[in-house]
Chains A and B, each alone.
Chain A
Amino acid sequence: MRRFGPVLVVVLTIFAIWYVGSFLMNRTWVMDQAARAGTEPGFTEVLRDTMNQDRAKLPAPHQVAAELYDGVVNKKVTSKRSLVYHGFITFQATMAGFALGIIAGVALAVAIVLSRFADLTLMPWAIISQTIPVVALAPMIVVLANAAGAGSLMVPKAIIAGYLGFFPILVSMVAGLRSPDGMQLDLLRTYGASPGQVFWKLRLPASLPYFFASLKIAVAASLVGAIVGELPTGAISGLGARMLIGSQFGNPMIMWSALFAAAILAALLIWIVSGIEKIAVRTMGGGQT
């Protein structure tokens, strides 16, 4: 209980602020309605009316929770209105992009560490790539992927997710592969180790803690990439598409429930990656950093 205490306090505080915000933002509409009807509502009536509007400016937490529950549990998972359906679409793109990001990030890091030429030529571009707003880039990637015959939105979405996901892995892996100090390199030199042996026996295992630390960031970035990939590209399924639909059709409930579904998905992904990291750390020397 002691562990959950602080978390609970934070959550309750957020809920409190949220409720106050809902009341303040939705009150205008209630007052307008009352003025038009020529009535003078009391405080409790205003409070009640701010908490249950269908098109509230800021839906109250319990409304979002109900909508989320409705979208996850009450709809068949194959339904176009099921959040599980849309969540799975986004999850697929996230995982494909995550895998792409791992492959690209690790491969580039290895090239950069092994070759000075790659270090000088690739690293600046990797950094520049992250300064371009991905929202601006996404439609172009969709067009190019379609022109190349991708067929569906899955491929460009995965590319966008990988585009965001590879960078933290690249930066961490470069640091990790370079982490062995001069003494450890000298030691292998006294054994007459080949460059390949230095890489496999020293650099790569030394980089693994860095790798796992970066996975958590990369999986979250991949999810953001997948969602962003659904926003400006005319996607009709996926959590990003739901958010856009909610906002375009003036239905904030859809937007908010999709947003929370995305947050829950992110939490799940990070939780799974942390679990994998723990197992890896245990097999690599038992918790000592």
Chain B
Amino acid sequence: MNRSVISASDLSLTFQTNDGPVHALKDVSLDIHKGDFVSFIGPSGCGKTTFLRVMADLEHPTGGSITVNGVSAAEARRNRAYGYVFQAAGLYPWRTIGGNIRLPLEIMGYSKADQAERVARVLELVELDGFEKKFPWQLSGGMQQRASIARALAFDADILLMDEPFGALDEIVRDHLNEQLLALWRRTEKTIAFVTHSIPEAVYLSTKIVVMSPRPGRISDVIDSPLPKERPLEIRDTPEFIEIAHRVRDGLRAGHGYDD
């Protein structure tokens, strides 16, 4: 159960720009274990999205090393080790919801019967059953984002990488989707890496909260949440919850350096 799924050590990534080098990540080390729900929180420019993209082999580190499922990030990507959920749903407007979820399955060469069975299963998982034949524009923003999560769940990746998936949604929808995501995580036992800049969202969802700070992007605190796996929304009013939120806020403040 304590097997390390994602392991980064002394990871650095420097972008060369016209204004000189930008240190998006500097000496970042972290272990994510199987079944963890890890949130990355920090101000913009702290490298949290870059870190997630390195795990996904969408960016290449300039220093240090990272393994995903025990192999390099590139190999893990080729093995289809993870599903990636972007900030925007990014559904193809010319495909139905079912067609969008079938997209990765078609690319990965699943049989027609298998595709149909998987689409039905993940639609049920994100509570979108009955919407298979609808086109994306017929769904609300929250429903579109759920469909994009279903798309990431359709194939057998046991890692889910989510880059501020609910950032563009309003608070009420976001609460509801957070609840659903937790339920889904408990049911599927996936390992989830989740980028956010909402403190309540990070504390509510995570078993582990990684607080990051910018210039250069680095980890300033790692908090293991003592909250139970079963989390009703009301847990946000408990002293434990408020205490963790407090620690996250302190970490953010310490790392941010408002003096500059």
Contacts and interface: CB of A to CB of B under 8 A. Distances in A.
Interface of A: 183-184, 186-193, 197, 201-202, 205-206, 208, 284-286, 288
Interface in B205-224: none
Contacts of A188: 107
* 10 nearest CB pairs, A to B: A288-B137, A284-B94, A190-B84, A191-B104, A285-B135, A285-B94, A191-B107, A193-B107, A285-B93, A192-B78
A120 B243 CA distance: 60
B90 A183 contact: yes
B58 interface: yes
A183 B88 contact: yes
Instruction: Decide if the interface of chain A is mainly helix, strand, loop or mixed.
Output: helix
Interface in B83-102: 83-84, 86, 88, 90, 92-95
Contacts of A183: 86, 88, 90
Given A192-B78, A205-B92, A288-B93, A186 B86 contact: yes
B56 to A, nearest CB: 6
A182 to B, nearest CB: 10
Given A183-B90, A189-B58, A284-B94, A201 B77 contact: no
Interface of B: 56-58, 77-78, 80, 82-84, 86, 88, 90, 92-95, 103-104, 106-108, 135-137
Nearest to A205: B94
A208 B92 CA distance: 13
A186 B86 CA distance: 9
Given A205-B94, A208-B94, 16 more contacts: A183-B86, A183-B90, A188-B107, A189-B57, A189-B58, A189-B77, A190-B82, A191-B103, A191-B104, A192-B77, A192-B108, A201-B106, A206-B92, A285-B95, A285-B135, A288-B93
A114 to B, nearest CB: 19
Residue in B57, B93, B135 with the greatest tally of chain A CB atoms within 10 Å:
B93
Nearest to B86: A183
B257 to A, nearest CB: 30
Contacts of A288: 93, 135, 137
